Amino acid sequence: MKLSAENISQFNDQGYLFFPELFSKNEIAKLQNEVPSILNRTGPEIVREKHDSKAARLAFGVHSYSNPFEHMLRHPRMLEPVKQLLNDEVYLHQSRLNPKYGFGSGASWDWHQDYPPFQYIDGMKEPKCIMATVFIDDCTAVTSPLLVIPGSHKYGLFESKLHEDAKGKGYALHHIDNTLLEKLANESTIEPLIGPAGSAAFVLCTLVHGSANNVSPWRRAVLYMNYNAVSNACTESSRPWFQNNRDFTPLNSLGDDCLE
């Protein structure tokens, strides 16, 4: 998959690109079939919801213990656009699956930028990192879709506070305060990323985003893959391998049929 000049211009202006149904139902089914065994893992790579210890909030490092997820990491429809947008060879800094269970078990994510913990904890020098997302389930208006503020990346890195729930859990979410959020939303807008399973987005790591509680009956699982430029490799190693990958070998694409 090769991005057009118009795609790249839109990414630079809005801070993200969204492609509905980038992957077929058959391709995405390979990942859907892996989800139950992933979420049943008991290692430290699985973070549980604070209010429901039976519900997984995040599964880190999914590419390392699932072949279909590892293939998605190196799928040309994901990897080649990222390399174009960053204009560099890339490696995977971090992968994570957010299952976002229904009936309120899937808790919200406060408004934030992904870059602060990458910079302050992992030693990522510049925000040359893209969060590539793949919808494992349908993401609808009622299943707590990912919300983004277009153009918010242009303001640079905001001062943010460490979310208390994140302390000691490794994901170190830094949230944006309400006054700043209101200013950003009023100057731009808030867009929901809605589409069927197999849709994908490319989001710059300084774009402000968040999501609400999933109070619907349906799960809303999304895969997040944070690709970093090889020239921007992290310098710190306090977090474990599944949150701060130390292998900076440039990734090469598999064939376009690698999920078939």
pTM: 0.94
Tell me the C-alpha distance between 83 and 130, whole Å.
10
C-beta separation of 119 from 235 below 8 A: no
Residue 78 binned pLDDT confidence (cut-offs 50, 70, 90): very high
State the DSSP H helix or E strand holding residue 115, giving kind and residue range, or none if neither.
helix 115-120
Task: Report whether pLDDT(213) > 70.
Answer: yes
Q: Beta-strand (E) ranges in 123-211? A: 129-135, 146-148, 161-162, 174-175, 191-193, 200-204, 209-211
Task: Report whether pLDDT(168) > 50.
Answer: no
What per-residue confidence (pLDDT) applies to 172?
53
User: Which whole number is the average pLDDT over 197-207?
Assistant: 98
How does pLDDT run across 23-71, given as a tens digit for each residue? 999 999 999 999 999 999 999 999 999 888 889 999 999 999 999 999 9
Tell me the C-alpha distance between 182 and 202, whole Å.
24
Q: Which two tokens stand for residue 221?
A: 């699982």
In DSSP terms, 91 is beta-bridged to 228
What per-residue confidence (pLDDT) applies to 53?
84
Residue labelled with tokens 């490799």: 233
How does pLDDT run across 6-25, given as a tens digit for each residue? 999 999 999 999 999 999 99
What per-residue confidence (pLDDT) applies to 82?
98
Report the candidate in 45, 91, 85 with the shortest Cα–Cα distance to residue 66. Answer: 45
C-beta separation of 55 from 48 below 8 A: yes
What are the structural domains of the chain? 5-232 (2.60.120.620)
Do you know the residue count of the chain?
260
What per-residue confidence (pLDDT) applies to 135?
98
Task: Please tell me the number of Cα atoms within 13 Å of 63 on its side-chain side.
Answer: 22
Tell me the C-alpha distance between 104 and 243, whole Å.
26
Higher pLDDT, 52 or 76: 76
Tell me the C-alpha distance between 225 and 43, whole Å.
20
C-beta separation of 47 from 170 below 8 A: yes
- Name the DSSP letter for residue 106: B
Q: Which two tokens stand for residue 161?
A: 């506070």
Q: CB neighbours of 185 closer than 8 A, spacing ≥ 6?
A: 149
Q: Which two tokens stand for residue 241?
A: 């391998």
Task: Report whether pLDDT(165) > 50.
Answer: no
